[in-house]
Amino acid sequence: MSLPVLAVASEFYPLIKTGGLADVAGALPGALRPHGVEVTTLLPGYPKVLSALQGGETVARFDALFGGPAALIASEHDGLDLLVLDAPHLYDRGGGPYGGPDGRDWTDNAQRFAALGFVANEVAHGAAGLPLPAVVHLHDWQAGLAAAYIAHDPRPRPKIVATIHNIAFQGWFPASFLPELRLPPQALSVDGVEYFGGIGFLKSALYHADRVTTVSPTYACEILEPDGGVGLDGLLSGRAATVSGILNGIDGDVWNPETDPRIPARYSANDLSGRAENRRALAERFGLEASPDRLTFGVVSRLSVQKGLDLLAEAVPLILELGANLALIGAGDGWLEDRYRGLAAAHPGRVGAFIGYDEDLAHLMQAGADAILVPSRFEPCGLTQLCALRYGAVPVVARVGGLADTVIDANPVGLSAGVATGVQFSPVRQSALDAALRRTVALWADRASWSRLQTNAMASEVSWTASAKAYAAMFSELAAA
């Protein structure tokens, strides 16, 4: 028997992506299907999403949805069921999903994402003519207000699961918006959407959800503490028994070095020789010296303080002193983009930077870099290190969140037991990062043990298999309760 689930997300790979949320929202429905969970995903109708739809049927209309008419289009992408909220007054504009071309947030984000939540509740009560979902699965703050609409609706309610991909983004808006967002006055309570005197979208989800999940077991612990919870630790620790972490996976068809059409030479854990050609191609693409003796560190990341890339920029002189190269692909905060452009210009042949978003290049990086750096200050799960493991690019990571859960450190015990897959460092400070860089270069000097790290990394489980099973078990348990 199949279990209908309505997922609500503001991104969905490959239709619209600014970060890892899109990868997860796009991959989980397919991974859940073998477990009898049938997910329909509700998405905002951004221009990119609407133009990518191949056919579709209008299944509901809303005459006045926070400032204009809207239609709900049922469609599918790659066999996955979608409901796209076509509300031109909210979503038909240039720029990104959350802000304009000038980088500023849209001033009507409260209305834009409240609309998504409002419609989610209507769909959960049959508005789209679909089987009623047993569970509504809310991703991040943008979906969060759905929980309040569901909670304040007198009709029988589905179960709610709220998944946190990044607790630093919380969706806070002034309390004066409440009537406009069609929530009753009593919703503005500590036992409701009230958050620091305003309306908290993520708070709403975390308060009303039957279960709260995040994307790794360690991050599930970190967010119960003041440092990690960013204001929501009190609420979460009060309901800690319902908070858990389920690791993300990656799509093993897209990320497979044996079949990857985006890289010059394919290879496997049994025969890594193809890596040499990828390494040369990477060096050429980034204008780096291709010497086999120079370890090339790679980065594929959003450029933000979360990712610790300000610390890495400070470590560039050490990387050079150690005889290594650095190749970076990233986009994000302007000052970090400028910083890495400057470093590449100052050290041609040793530091290369591509500022922008490029998936093909990300595959080349994983296939050609010797080590992938992820020095994040916090990391709910992280996908880059999972790709690195699969491609035998040794991950060098901060021991936080999902990075702590997915990489086995090459410490003396890990090495002697033959289980190490990468390098971890802690605390996330300059001195510890510097020490990790030194340690990585020392490990590289012993090519036999380096190869062992690579093959161990490539044998790591990074698929959705176990995690999809865990989500399915949680959904079934909630549906049966």
Helix (H, G, I), strand (E, B) or coil at 208: helix
User: By C-beta, is 254 or 272 nearer to ligand ADQ?
Assistant: 254
177 conformational bin, left if phi > 0, alpha if psi -120 to 50, beta if neither: alpha
Q: What are the tokens at 277?
A: 């050609």
User: With binding defined as CB under 6 A, does residue 316 bind ligand ADQ?
Assistant: no
Place of tokens 């319902």: 242
User: Sheet containing 325-332: which strands, arranged edge to edge?
Assistant: 351-355, 325-332, 296-303, 371-374, 394-398, 423-425
**Measured from the CB of residue 381, what is the shortest distance to ligand ADQ in angstroms?**
3
Task: Phi first, then psi: give them for residue 461, nearest 5 degrees.
Answer: -80, 110
User: With binding defined as CB under 6 A, does residue 428 bind ligand ADQ?
Assistant: no
**Measured from the CB of residue 292, what is the shortest distance to ligand ADQ in angstroms?**
26
User: With binding defined as CB under 6 A, does residue 121 bind ligand ADQ?
Assistant: no
User: With binding defined as CB under 6 A, does residue 21 bind ligand ADQ?
Assistant: yes
Residue 206: what residue type?
Answer: L
Q: Which stretch binds ligand ADQ (CB under 6 A): 181-189, 264-272, 295-303, 460-468?
A: 295-303
**Residue of 278, 384, 421, 456 that binds ligand ADQ (CB under 6 A):** 384
User: Rule CB under 6 A: which of 193-232 touch ligand ADQ?
Assistant: 215
User: With binding defined as CB under 6 A, does residue 282 bind ligand ADQ?
Assistant: no
Size of the site for ligand ADQ (CB under 6 A): 26
CA angle 15, 18, 21 (to 5 degrees): 80
Contact call for residues 101 and 155 (beta carbons, < 8 A)? no
**Measured from the CB of residue 182, what is the shortest distance to ligand ADQ in angstroms?**
29
Helix (H, G, I), strand (E, B) or coil at 162: strand
Q: Which stretch binds ligand ADQ (CB under 6 A): 37-45, 111-119, 268-276, 376-384?
A: 376-384
User: With binding defined as CB under 6 A, does residue 329 bind ligand ADQ?
Assistant: yes
User: With binding defined as CB under 6 A, does residue 4 bind ligand ADQ?
Assistant: no
Cα 330 to chain centroid, rounded: 15
Cα 80 to chain centroid, rounded: 19
Q: Is 17 annotated as a binding residue?
A: yes
Q: Which stretch binds ligand ADQ (CB under 6 A): 53-61, 296-304, 309-317, 460-468?
A: 296-304
Q: Beta partners for 43?
A: 84
Q: Which stretch binds ligand ADQ (CB under 6 A): 15-23, 107-115, 195-203, 389-397?
A: 15-23
- Within 13 A of 61's CA, how many CA atoms are on the CB side? 3
User: With binding defined as CB under 6 A, does residue 333 bind ligand ADQ?
Assistant: no
User: With binding defined as CB under 6 A, does residue 10 bind ligand ADQ?
Assistant: no
Q: How far apart are CA 125 and CA 131, in angstroms?
A: 9
Question: Which of 225, 158, 218, 256 is closest to 406 using CA atoms?
Answer: 218
User: With binding defined as CB under 6 A, does residue 152 bind ligand ADQ?
Assistant: no
Task: Phi first, then psi: give them for residue 298, nearest 5 degrees.
Answer: -120, 155
User: By C-beta, is 406 or 440 nearer to ligand ADQ?
Assistant: 406
Name 268's Cβ contacts closer than 8 Å, sequence gap at least 6.
257, 258, 458
- For residue 153, the tally of other CB atoms under 10 A from its CB is 13
Contact flags string 245-274 toward ligand ADQ, x per CB under 6 A: ---x--------------------------
**Residue of 35, 152, 285, 302 that binds ligand ADQ (CB under 6 A):** 302
User: By C-beta, is 86 or 370 nearer to ligand ADQ?
Assistant: 370
Q: What are the tokens at 386?
A: 């999972």
Q: Which stretch binds ligand ADQ (CB under 6 A): 54-62, 86-94, 197-205, 373-381?
A: 373-381
User: By C-beta, is 7 or 322 nearer to ligand ADQ?
Assistant: 7
**Residue of 171, 380, 395, 422 that binds ligand ADQ (CB under 6 A):** 380
**Measured from the CB of residue 59, what is the shortest distance to ligand ADQ in angstroms?**
29
User: Sheet containing 172-173: which strands, arranged edge to edge?
Assistant: 172-173, 198-200, 194-195
User: With binding defined as CB under 6 A, does residue 315 bind ligand ADQ?
Assistant: no
Contact call for residues 177 and 187 (beta carbons, < 8 A)? no
Q: Which stretch binds ligand ADQ (CB under 6 A): 60-68, 277-285, 313-321, 323-331?
A: 323-331
Contact call for residues 222 and 214 (beta carbons, < 8 A)? no
Q: Where are the alpha helices (DSSP H) in 175-224?
A: 201-208, 217-222
Q: Where are the alpha helices (DSSP H) in 247-326?
A: 274-286, 309-314, 316-321
- How does DSSP classify residue 422? B
Contact flags string 84-113 toward ligand ADQ, x per CB under 6 A: ------------------------------
Q: What are the tokens at 232?
A: 């929501």
Residues that bind ligand ADQ (CB under 6 A): 19-21, 23-24, 165-166, 215, 248, 300-302, 329-331, 357-359, 362, 379-384, 402
Q: Name the binding residues.
A: 17
